[in-house]
A and B are shown apart, each in its own frame.
Chain A
Amino acid sequence: MTENAHLETDGLAVDHHFENADQQYQSAKLGMWVFLATEILFFGGLFVAYSVYRLNHPEVFIFGHHFLDKSLGALNTVILICSSLTAAWAVRAAQLKQIRMLKGMLLLTMLFAFGFLGVKAVEYNSKWKHGLLWAREYHPHVDHEEASEILITKEDFETGAVEGVVEDVTALQKVGDGVLAETETVLIEEAPAAAPAAEANRSTIAPAAEGPPGLATQGTEESSEKVIEVEPANAQTFFSIYFLMTGLHGIHVLGGIGAFMWLYLSARRGYFSTGHFTRVDMVALYWHVVDLIWIYLFLLLYLIE
């Protein structure tokens, strides 16, 4: 910027309209915090949507979260927490003018960020394969192999393993075999509401009690486990919210990668050798907020009961 006469104050270049480097740094920092407040409020809208739908339809969330892979979610949480550490370390390195360390930490942070997106891509891919997408694209067709893990089987009912999982059904489970007939009735009542858009292919998972165990016609050889369809009405809402929240978060991760890349290139140009560290500090602050939001997403989407 030719218009900015750079003055040397305490060894740092200061834009013409600031009195000293400290005022400039404090301004940048306050600006960043205010910006982060806007980010929180930006996500806040989605958190409110989440709360409204979860409070009104808890069964949708309890049903939906079984389809999320907790271990992949946990892995991503660890990855992001590590990246926060390296980002904070990068700030320290910039403050101490340790340029090699700074570059290393920036690269590591980017690596973690890409790792996070990689894991996320695996998760999205599996949702895509099974048609577990947002409302309009929600056409689930879950493999039996996986369904046996995430859906409630007859054995689960008989052994009581699903206690408390699906509130509507828990009251019935103790009745034993007789439960199936009742569950079926419940399902039939719910069926019209479950498919407001009247999509015939809303669920291809076989309905519950078509016959005694072992006589099921659908599924593979392993399907001796009978899958009971307990999909609540509007189950697609969970996946809409899941994709909106993680998608918006993913865009922020991409933005973070771009910012770290910018820092890395600045570091290579030698920008940070002069003792400037404000930029690293600001990007790291942003990155911590992105991490923080993910931790909430992990808790609210993956770890609910």
Chain B
Amino acid sequence: MTDATTVLTGDGQPAGPGQRDSYLNHGKGVLSWLFTLDHKRIGIMYLAVILASFFLGGVFAMFIRTELLTPGQTIMTADTYNKMFTLHGAVMIFLFIIPGIPATLGNFVLPLMLGAKDVALPRLNLASFWLWLIGASVAVASIIIGAVDTGWTFYTPYSTTTGTAVVAMTLGAFILGFSSIFTGLNFIVTIHKMRPEGMTWFRMPLFLWGIYSTAIIQVLATPVLGITLLLLIAERTLGVGIFDPALGGDPVLYQHFFWFYSHPAVYIMILPAMAIMSEVISVFSGKHIFGYRFIAWSSIAIALLSFLVWGHHMFTSGQSSLTNMIFSALTFSVAIPSAVKVFNWLATMYKGSIRLAAPMLYALSFLFLFAIGGLTGLFLGSLSTDIHLHDTYFVVAHFHYVMFGGTVIAFLAGIHYWWPKIFGRMYSERWAQVSALLIFVGFNLTFFTQFVMGSHGMPRRYYNYLERFTAYHQASTVGSFILMIGFLIMAGYLLHSLVRGERAPANPWGGATLEWETASPPPYFNFEHEMQAGDPYDLDALSWDPSIKGYVRRDPSSVLAAPRGAD
């Protein structure tokens, strides 16, 4: 065993995770998990509940796609169908994709990247998780009380008049919003106050820049959703007449309020995905990230621009044409920082030694799908084309290319990238590649056909459709089944790896950020030593050690902080 691995596993203890103290075996029993303040365990709990939500949302999606296999009734009534697409949207957005990356991978990785023992406010972190549980329970309870059929946007005046459980669902989303705010707040404080020696703002891993930008949006936009949903609840329960035209209110004001949050919210979803991309692409290209500062600033730019474009959801709501033009122009401007990122990733890959391991396969899928998703956003941002495409399947396809093809695919890249670190086990690379391929093919079959039928005028959210759309709908449904098989395979090999997977080395991929400097899975206090940070993309500082099937630092002392008097 080299000096490096001694550092990695610490105190001369054997490297087997079975005997070694890790966060997974530090404290036993359900309560030691539910009331833990450890960011890693909170991250794992989030991962479990968020994947359960993803499964639930996925089941709703499969029902929708199956119903659309034929025109007219296939397996459910029109009312049930309305509930299905609302629940699919609400569960996927509020329960899964908004908290998705920050609360799971962010929670786990962020303090490790900082060489810190925990996030700055661990109790708030646990509170955030509990708020998620409470909010999710209330939201899911609405399904039993009377599943909402308004669409996930809860537009007034329908949402103030429908007989379904809008109050429960929006109250759930309101509570989930606080969970999201507290996570973001915690990350802002942690990044500001807990960076290790040597980690200036521009020596932070880009993952942290992405999470930081996300946190800014979470903190500044989510309260507005909070008050909006509170007003909607007050409208339904008390009749305050802010949004209800029957009482002198303005339903379009609701749309403004809603999108003032919900447009920035799509950047809450995509920025952490981009954050993962910056790590994975550099490591699996074996090259220093290209254009570090541009990627960092583009995250901030996206966060700020995200607050200025909400009106593009409302081009057909009767806004003045001047307003429309301004929002349209601002919408185009978001394409600039997004493209800056994509070009920098491509430049990072250029002449790199690319390894097509599972995380990189997903990263490449992301580049392909996000490019389509992002560019079709420009079709929708242009006034003339949007009038034609508004509320068609084109919008649905665009949204899924960005959110699924972007965020979910990057989330999968991140899961595969950090899985060995989180659980200390390797998964089956071969099956991971099979599943990545199935997901890529299934996804494109599902949603590319929706671009085509949308541009031919198939409206979104319709239960029935004209005969000429049948082929597209059936192709889309077949695609969704392929997608589902891909995910089932993934669930299979990931669960298998937890039990039978090969033990993971500290650094299986050769990443230079600090989380790879500690054992897999990390010990309870994260690091055996005080860490100091160097260049997070200096991949040449690492070399492959076949004896541990992992990478080791050529000079392990380069990341160890000088002993401090105070400690």
Contact = CB atoms under 8 A, between A and B. Distances in A.
Interface of A: 1, 3-4, 9, 15-20, 23, 26-28, 30-31, 34-35, 37-39, 41-46, 48-49, 52-53, 134-137, 196-197, 233-234, 236-237, 240-241, 243-244, 248
B240 A243 contact: yes
B242 A34 contact: no
Contacts of B466: none
B170 interface: no
A135 B224 CA distance: 22
Nearest to A35: B185
A49 B242 contact: yes
B188 A30 contact: yes
Given A20-B566, A41-B224, A233-B248, A4 B37 contact: yes
Contacts of A19: 564, 566-567
Contacts of A240: 240-242, 247
A154 B415 CA distance: 76
Nearest to B120: A27
9 contacts: A16-B117, A20-B566, A30-B189, A37-B219, A42-B223, A45-B226, A52-B250, A244-B234, A244-B240
Given A31-B189, A136-B247, A44 B241 contact: no
B37 A41 contact: no
- Chain B binding site: helix, strand, loop or mixed by DSSP? helix
B449 interface: no
A18 B247 CA distance: 54
Contacts of B37: 1, 3-4
The residue in A17, A39, A137, A243 that gathers the most chain B C-beta atoms within 10 A of its C-beta is A17
A42 B122 CA distance: 24
Given A35-B185, A244-B242, A23 B248 contact: no
A52 B253 contact: yes
A226 B293 CA distance: 73
B178 to A, nearest CB: 9
Contacts of A20: 566
Nearest to A194: B248
A38 B566 contact: no
Contact of B247 (A31, A236, A241): A236
A46 B223 CA distance: 11
Interface string B80-123: 00000000000000000000000000000001000011111110
Contacts of A26: 193
Contact of A237 (B181, B241, B257): B241
B492 to A, nearest CB: 35
Interface residues of B, number: 51
A53 B253 CA distance: 10
A17 B116 contact: yes
Given A15-B122, A45-B257, A135-B249, A38 B219 contact: yes
B185 A234 contact: no
Contact of B241 (A38, A41, A52, A136): A136
A5 B52 CA distance: 34
B45 interface: no
A37 B223 CA distance: 9
B226 A136 contact: no
Given A16-B525, A45-B224, 15 more contacts: A4-B37, A30-B193, A31-B120, A31-B185, A34-B188, A37-B219, A43-B227, A45-B223, A49-B242, A52-B250, A196-B245, A196-B247, A244-B231, A244-B234, A244-B240
B179 interface: no
The residue in A34, A43, A233, A236 that gathers the most chain B C-beta atoms within 10 A of its C-beta is A34
Given A3-B37, A19-B567, A35-B185, A135 B222 contact: no
A233 B230 CA distance: 25
B246 interface: yes
A136 B250 contact: no
B186 interface: yes
B249 A237 contact: yes
**Nearest 7 pairs between A and B by C-beta?**
A136-B239, A135-B241, A45-B227, A234-B248, A135-B247, A17-B117, A17-B118
B121 A27 contact: yes
B194 A137 contact: no
Interface string B229-240: 011001000111
B124 interface: yes
A3 B224 CA distance: 36
Contact of A196 (B111, B186, B220, B246): B246
Interface of B: 36-38, 111, 116-122, 124, 181, 185-186, 188-190, 192-194, 219-224, 226-228, 230-231, 234, 238-242, 244-250, 253, 257, 525, 564, 566-567
A85 to B, nearest CB: 28
B121 A31 contact: yes
Contacts of A237: 241-242, 248-249
B318 to A, nearest CB: 14
A135 B120 contact: no
A23 B194 contact: yes
A36 B223 CA distance: 11
A30 B223 contact: no
A237 B240 CA distance: 8
Nearest to B178: A38
A236 B192 CA distance: 46
Contacts of A39: 223
B241 A236 contact: yes
A38 B222 contact: yes
Contacts of B189: 27, 30-31, 34
Contact of B193 (A27, A196, A244): A27
A27 to B, nearest CB: 4
Nearest to A28: B121
Contacts of A38: 181, 185, 219-220, 222-223
Given A45-B227, A233-B248, A31 B239 contact: no
B562 to A, nearest CB: 14
The residue in A3, A16, A23 that gathers the most chain B C-beta atoms within 10 A of its C-beta is A3
Contacts of B186: 31
Contacts of B188: 30-31, 34
A4 B117 CA distance: 11
Contacts of A17: 111, 116-120, 122, 194
A135 B190 CA distance: 44
Contacts of A23: 193-194
A31 B185 CA distance: 6
Contacts of B117: 16-17
B18 to A, nearest CB: 23
A197 B247 contact: yes
Nearest to A9: B566
Contacts of B219: 34, 37-38
A151 B192 CA distance: 56
A37 B220 contact: yes
Contacts of A49: 231, 242, 253
A42 B226 contact: yes
Contacts of B242: 49, 237, 240-241, 244
Contact of A134 (B181, B223, B230, B240): B240
A166 to B, nearest CB: 18
A135 B253 contact: no
A44 B116 contact: no
B219 to A, nearest CB: 6
Contact of A136 (B181, B194, B222, B240): B240
Given A17-B116, A52-B253, A236-B248, A27 B194 contact: yes
B20 to A, nearest CB: 19
A186 to B, nearest CB: 19
